[in-house]
Amino acid sequence: MAPGLLEQSADWLAQQRDQFLSSPVTYSRGNDSVVLNATKGQTPFEQVDEHGVVTTMRSQDFLIRASDLVLTGNQVTPEAGDKITETVGNVTSVYEVMSMQGGPPWRYSDPHEKTIRVHT
């Protein structure tokens, strides 16, 4: 069955984001890694401690094409503990994939599962 108009649009948007709003990063799990394009984003989280104090945090997110996340020849999904390495100019930053508030460390960003939002 051919993809519908909405799925074709999701593909087009993912391609545009990848081409114009992303930069290369290295995604690694253990000794395996892949260089792929990612767009930076943020997700706010709130946490309430035992005294009722609310702390607001932001995760540094990376949006990547699901089809680009291939390790050892297999398409995979992010796991807590994976690393994303980004170099901007002379500065290299390493981000650890992690769950926030007990939730998953990633989620799909569209209903057709073309783009993954990875929380770090």
| Per-residue pLDDT tens digits for 49-65 | 889 898 888 889 999 99
What residues does each domain of the chain span? 5-119
The predicted model gives 18-25 an average pLDDT of 89
Model confidence at 2: pLDDT above 70: no
Which pTM was predicted? 0.84
Instruction: Say what the pLDDT of residue 1 is.
Output: 59
Stretch (H or E) spanning 18 = helix 5-20
| Per-residue pLDDT tens digits for 63-85 | 999 999 999 999 999 999 999 99
Model confidence at 92: pLDDT above 70: yes
Provide the percentage of residues in the chain whose pLDDT is more than 70: 98
Instruction: Say what the pLDDT of residue 10 is.
Output: 77
Name the E strands within 1-120: 23-29, 32-48, 54-65, 70-71, 74-75, 83-88, 91-96, 106-108, 115-119
With beta carbons less than 8 A apart as the criterion, state whether 112 and 56 touch: no
